[in-house]
Chains A and B, each alone.
Chain A
Amino acid sequence: MLTISTQSISEKLSEVLCAATGATLDPLPFVSKERAIHIAFPATKNGQIPSITLLTDSDLNDQSLTQITFSIALKSLDIFPLLLCILVFLRERKTISLELEENILSALHEALLNALIHGNLGQYSDYNNSYKMFDHFAAIGEMLLTNDVKETLKMSIEILPEQIAISITDSGKGFSEDAIVPPGESALHGRGMTIIRECADIVNISDHGSTISMIFTCGPQQAQLFSKLENSHILIVEDVAVNRAIISRILKQRGFKTISIAIDGEEAYEKTLLLKPDLVILDLMLPRMDGYEYCRRIRQNPAFEHLPIVVQTVLSQPEQRSKAFACGASDLVTKPINAYELIARIVLLLEKQSLLNDLREYQDRIQHELSSARSMQHSIMPNQQLIKDLEARYSIKTQSFFQPSSEIGGDLWGIRMISEAECAFYIVDFSGHGITAALNVFRFQAMLQGLMLDMTDPASVLEKLNKKLKEILSIGQFATMFYAVINTLDDTLHYAAAGSTNPAIIKKDKSIEWLDGKGLPLGAANGAEYKNHTTTFTEEDGLLLYSDALIETANTEGGYITTENIESCLKAASHPLAFNKIIAEFKKQNTATDDLTIIMLSR
């Protein structure tokens, strides 16, 4: 990355040109003619300088100045400072990408080198055609450092809407096309033209090589951003005709195309509603309705809450400033208007507005993507068809409730039909929530499909999953899991747990059996072992599975759902109604900060 000091351009130009030419003139001769600056330098120490006008900083900083031409007698081998100086000039006027900056620097460097070598060689008969010898670079270098250098370069830089055109003419004899070396060839000279042609979009060589014109096109993205700003609609509110004309001219010079005028507060208010400008430049002292009142009224309308309003104030009245901000002004400029300051503030506000719009679009897109992800996540959970099949095959009714804390979450549950009499249920809760947890859920689901597992042996299922998850999860990520096999033939429930919540079995007689969810979470430790448990699970029994959000979300009084709460829900009604009661109980809680899954299986 190249860094450039924040020195003013004219200062920098003076410094660089003095160093490059050995000139000691103070002040430096800058000549202004219409919109172009001609910087004339004496080619020799005693050269005559025509009548000159010294350019001030504000002239050089004038954004409307988009073309400079100058003559310069380079006296140093290090032309880089001059390049940086040109880059500052370009940057001040145009948004240029880093890549384009590199291309301009590379091509310009080569073109200047070319002018130095051929231009200077042309002055000395001894060196004619000697550019074929690389070693002569050194000789030229030494020559440049003496005071005998006669060569003058003419350089012109022009900034067009989507292009930058740079042309350099030296006073030498040029070169012939056969001196140019194709890429990949090991010659010690003639590489510069290849670089220029590669870096500039259009290259034109004339006068036998003593003039090189280069055109760089600004990428579509930059042109877009630039034209986006220039297409902004600006409303000028000002009752004095002269001031309106001045502001309008400044804006037009900078390239703003759509400008509207209002001459009093009432008109400004009406035009704002009607035209919906992108920015308003507002005078405070206005007939009919003053600027403060305009600001207050417009800010009351939600559609114009973020409309940039630049207020013009008079320095002698500082109280105007705070009052203007209090009424809703976005920024201030002081009268008399400084063109550079006005443009800088306007561009900043418009850019901010454009970025905010981009941000809103981005948020909308993410929102949209998250809801797609959410429906994807729902699709990997058991669907109604599977639940119906299960009921038909095993006479087991399934109720489920799933609510991610954000759009998507880290909970998963599933069903596996193993044999005529056996089916498996599992509930998984990944650490964390949101996108990371959800991605892990998808990985887990894929893994579960891919692994060869003995689905009838809960402990071995957990052990294999643990081994695999330990390999893929980052440190700190883990999952809790409860895995159970229901056998409808011998009325048993065979299960193993990895740090899950304690599921509950509701017996026919409404007694509750709490199952043991203890065990190392999956993916936390290598070689974790899990224990198989067996209990009875007969007809009309129910099994309640839930993720920890059910018992870990506080209600408004800071209380939690306890096992007693759950028990009383389960005892009070049939399984399906008890399930609804528990969900109702949970919904009394504050907004859950974790994902919640509740499953009820009833035989």
Chain B
Amino acid sequence: MEFSIQQTGSTFEVKMRGRFTFAENQKFKTILQQSLHAKPSVVIFDLTEVEFIDSAGLGMLLLVKDEMDAVGAAILLKGASGQVKKMLNVSCFEVLFGMA
């Protein structure tokens, strides 16, 4: 997985590419730390170019949500399609996350 972060004011947009799975645990922790460090008010995860996500990937998104909830920041998901969209639906993530 690759990712890039774009900051506009206090909005963070994390654009992710490739497969978002168990194997990405360490890499994702880096994203999390970078995002939290800047104290954003909104974090948007752009999943347009994510081709595959597993339960660990979903779990990692929840991990960010917990951290964001704790500091009162909002987290939004956008651009999911195909397998990724299906996984979000299966786990009812629309209940837990805002969809941008």
Within 8 A of A (CB), among B63-100: 63, 65-66, 82-83, 86-87, 90-93, 95-96
Chain B residues closer than 8 Å to A116, beta-carbon distance? 22
* Distance, CA A183 to CA B86, complexed state (A): 13
Produce 1/0 per residue, B1-36, CB < 8 A to A: 000000000000000000101110110010000000
Chain A residues closer than 8 Å to B22, beta-carbon distance? 77, 79, 113, 116, 137, 141
Chain A residues closer than 8 Å to B56, beta-carbon distance? 113, 137
Q: How far is the CB of A338 from chain B (nearest CB, A)?
A: 36
Chain B residues closer than 8 Å to A194, beta-carbon distance? 55, 90-91
Does the CB pair A137–B91 fall under 8 Å?
A: no
* Distance, CA A106 to CA B56, complexed state (A): 12
Does the CB pair B23–A78 fall under 8 Å?
A: yes
Does the CB pair A80–B83 fall under 8 Å?
A: no
Minimum CB distance partner of B19 in chain A:
A80
* Distance, CA A195 to CA B95, complexed state (A): 17
Choose among B25, B26, B92, B93 the residue with the greatest number of A CB atoms under 10 Å from its CB: B25
State whether A109 and B95 are in contact (beta carbons under 8 Å apart), knowing that A80-B23, A138-B25, A138-B26 are contacts in the complex. Answer: no
Which of A113, A184, A192, A199 is close to B96, meaning CB atoms less than 8 Å apart? A184
Q: How far is the CB of A178 from chain B (nearest CB, A)?
A: 17
Minimum CB distance partner of A197 in chain B:
B90
Is B62's beta carbon under 8 Å from chain A?
yes
Q: How far is the CB of A294 from chain B (nearest CB, A)?
A: 50
Chain B residues closer than 8 Å to A102, beta-carbon distance? 82-83, 86
* Distance, CA A187 to CA B56, complexed state (A): 11
Q: How far is the CB of B60 from chain A (nearest CB, A)?
A: 8
Q: How far is the CB of B52 from chain A (nearest CB, A)?
A: 7
Minimum CB distance partner of B92 in chain A:
A184
Minimum CB distance partner of A113 in chain B:
B22
Chain B residues closer than 8 Å to A77, beta-carbon distance? 22-23, 25
Does the CB pair B21–A109 fall under 8 Å?
A: yes
Minimum CB distance partner of A181 in chain B:
B91
Minimum CB distance partner of B82 in chain A:
A102
Chain A residues closer than 8 Å to B62, beta-carbon distance? 186-188
Does the CB pair A105–B52 fall under 8 Å?
A: yes
Produce 1/0 per residue, A186-223, CB < 8 A to B: 11110110110011000000000000000000000000
Is A552's beta carbon under 8 Å from chain B?
no
Q: How far is the CB of A379 from chain B (nearest CB, A)?
A: 45
* Distance, CA A398 to CA B55, complexed state (A): 75
Which of B26, B54, B93, B95 is close to A113, meaning CB atoms less than 8 Å apart? B54
Minimum CB distance partner of B83 in chain A:
A102
Is A392's beta carbon under 8 Å from chain B?
no
* Distance, CA A273 to CA B23, complexed state (A): 61
Chain A residues closer than 8 Å to B63, beta-carbon distance? 134, 188
Which of A78, A106, A134 is close to B59, meaning CB atoms less than 8 Å apart? A134
Minimum CB distance partner of B94 in chain A:
A184
State whether A106 and B23 are in contact (beta carbons under 8 Å apart), knowing that A134-B63, A184-B91, A186-B96 are contacts in the complex. Answer: no
Is A1's beta carbon under 8 Å from chain B?
yes
Which of A2, A78, A138 is close to B51, meaning CB atoms less than 8 Å apart? A2
Choose among B55, B58, B66 the residue with the greatest number of A CB atoms under 10 Å from its CB: B55
Chain A residues closer than 8 Å to B51, beta-carbon distance? 1-2
Minimum CB distance partner of B54 in chain A:
A109
Is A110's beta carbon under 8 Å from chain B?
yes
* Distance, CA A198 to CA B51, complexed state (A): 19
* Distance, CA A77 to CA B57, complexed state (A): 13
Chosen A-B contacts, 27 in total, with CB atoms closer than 8 Å, are A1-B51, A2-B52, A77-B23, A79-B22, A105-B52, A106-B54, A109-B21, A110-B54, A113-B22, A134-B59, A137-B59, A138-B25, A183-B92, A184-B95, A187-B62, A188-B62, A188-B66, A191-B55, A191-B59, A194-B55, A194-B90, A194-B91, A195-B54, A195-B55, A195-B90, A195-B91, A198-B90
Known: A189-B59, A195-B91. 16 other contacts (CB 8 A): A1-B51, A80-B21, A109-B52, A109-B54, A113-B22, A134-B63, A138-B29, A141-B22, A141-B26, A184-B93, A186-B66, A188-B62, A191-B55, A191-B91, A192-B54, A195-B87
